[in-house]
């Protein structure tokens, strides 16, 4: 039997895989967490190493690397969360519009809303 199929059969669907928990919250379920920290770590190491190669001052390079890590993590986190919340808001609007379309389908209210331009016919 294939190992993938075997592992799928052995897994208990009720058992959740737990990731890293900080302050009682599983960070693997936080949107944008992983990407932000990976970008932050990579940029901090890169800029810290580049500053060390340029200046040959290890303590200053550490400070620059940690500062770059913090700033790039915050910037990528903020941008990613903004985009995520924008998409979530748009999805909620679409869900409400579809719910209204289904609710009023085939009724006199639908014809009235289509004539006003609120609902669009397919």
* pLDDT single digits (tens) 12-63: 555 566 777 878 888 778 888 889 999 999 999 999 999 999 999 999 999 9
Q: Tell me if the pTM is above 0.75.
A: no
Do the Cβ atoms of 66 and 52 come closer than 8 Å?
no
Query: 3-class SS at 112?
Result: helix
* 48 contacts: CB under 8 Å, gap ≥ 6: 61, 62, 64, 65, 66, 68
Give the integer Cα–Cα distance in Å for 98 and 122. 12
pLDDT for 9 equals: 60
pLDDT for 120 equals: 62
Give the integer Cα–Cα distance in Å for 76 and 23. 22
């Amino acid at each position: 039997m294939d190992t993938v199929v075997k592992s799928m059969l052995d897994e208990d669907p009720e058992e959740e895989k737990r990731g890293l928990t900080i302050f009682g919250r599983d960070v693997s379920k936080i949107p944008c967490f992983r990407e932000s920290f990976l970008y932050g770590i990579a940029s901090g190491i890169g800029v810290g190493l580049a500053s060390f190669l340029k200046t040959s001052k290890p303590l200053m390079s550490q400070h620059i690397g940690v500062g770059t890590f913090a700033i790039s993590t915050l910037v990528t986190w903020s941008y990613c969360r903004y985009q995520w919340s924008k998409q979530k808001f748009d999805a909620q609007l679409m869900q409400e519009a579809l719910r209204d379309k289904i609710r009023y389908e085939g009724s006199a209210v639908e014809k009235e809303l289509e004539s006003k331009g609120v609902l669009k016919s397919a």
